[in-house]
Amino acid sequence: MRSWVLVFLVLVGTATAEDPRFALFEKYDRASTVDEVRPLVSGTLARQYAILASRDDEVGRALKAQQLASYKPRIVEIDDKTSFLVVEDARSASGARQEAQAYLLSKGTNGGWTLANRFLAASVIKTLWTDTFSPAQFNQVSQCAIDGREIQPRSALAIRDGDVIRITLHPFSFSQGDIEYWRGTSGLPVENAAKGSHFDDGKSTACVLTLRLDKENGISLFNVGAEPRPGAPSGSKVWQASRSDIAKVEIGKNRIVLDTSGQVGAQMDGARWAVKVDLPLWERGL
């Protein structure tokens, strides 16, 4: 058994060493000058380092600050020209832990890879890189009132983050600009990503249904509340609803169907909703 485990570990190590994308990041992580970094990057990272190159006193300090003493890399494939290198369990030279980072890898016409951008791995929605969506998929009318105020939802967006699914009901119809906004926030190179997007100003109040899942993908907790406006003095108001208020729920890999209605609290200090949606389910994180 021990010999088989040893063989397996050797094979994994060999595969990692042979993948040029791992070697690329190793060079990037050890670079100490902009000249060393320049051939390794493209896109947004290349533009950032071009700006940094004009500030000689900051170059060495910035490169040294980002270097890692240890980390665990893995690849998330998108297509034959695009992938993410996710850096987990990273420690800086000082020993400080860092959040998992996702480096966008781009394959050039010469077959070589470059690092094009960097994000928090937990913020990337992979589905937006692999699938195409239309506003009609999100434009589904619901009913929701918070503290006696009718929100009048005209669209809904479902995002899964670990064992939590948030279905946000918005008082506007989705547009292509709204989809482009989310594509842009997930790292896609979209021009004018927020133009014409309702999410750009963030002024509208949204009604939020939160489902916490157990290990069998069943509902262990169901909350209804209001998402606060940016800059609001108070936090979000949330009420715990009964799971019996859910008439139907189907949760697939990329889709959720939910039929629920109910009321918690008083009319002027509570929530009332009637929601029947069939939505794409986006999953956050790589």
Least confident of 72-76, 152-156, 213-217: 213-217
* DSSP symbol at 202: -
Residue 12 pLDDT: 41
CB proximity list for 156: less than 8 A, separation 6 or greater: 138, 140, 142, 167, 168, 169, 170, 275, 277, 279
Torsion, Cα 165 166 167 173, to 10 degrees, reads -130
- State which H helix or E strand residue 255 sits in: strand 255-266
pLDDT at 92: 85
What is the average pLDDT across 106-127? 93
Give pLDDT, residue 59.
Answer: 72
Q: What confidence score (pLDDT) does residue 93 get?
A: 77
Strand duo 155-161 + 149-150: pairing: unpaired
Query: Residue 250 above 70 pLDDT?
Result: yes
pLDDT per residue as tens digits for the range 169-205? 999 999 998 998 899 888 887 665 546 788 876 666 7
Domains and CATH numbers, the chain: 2-123 (3.10.450), 127-283 (no CATH)
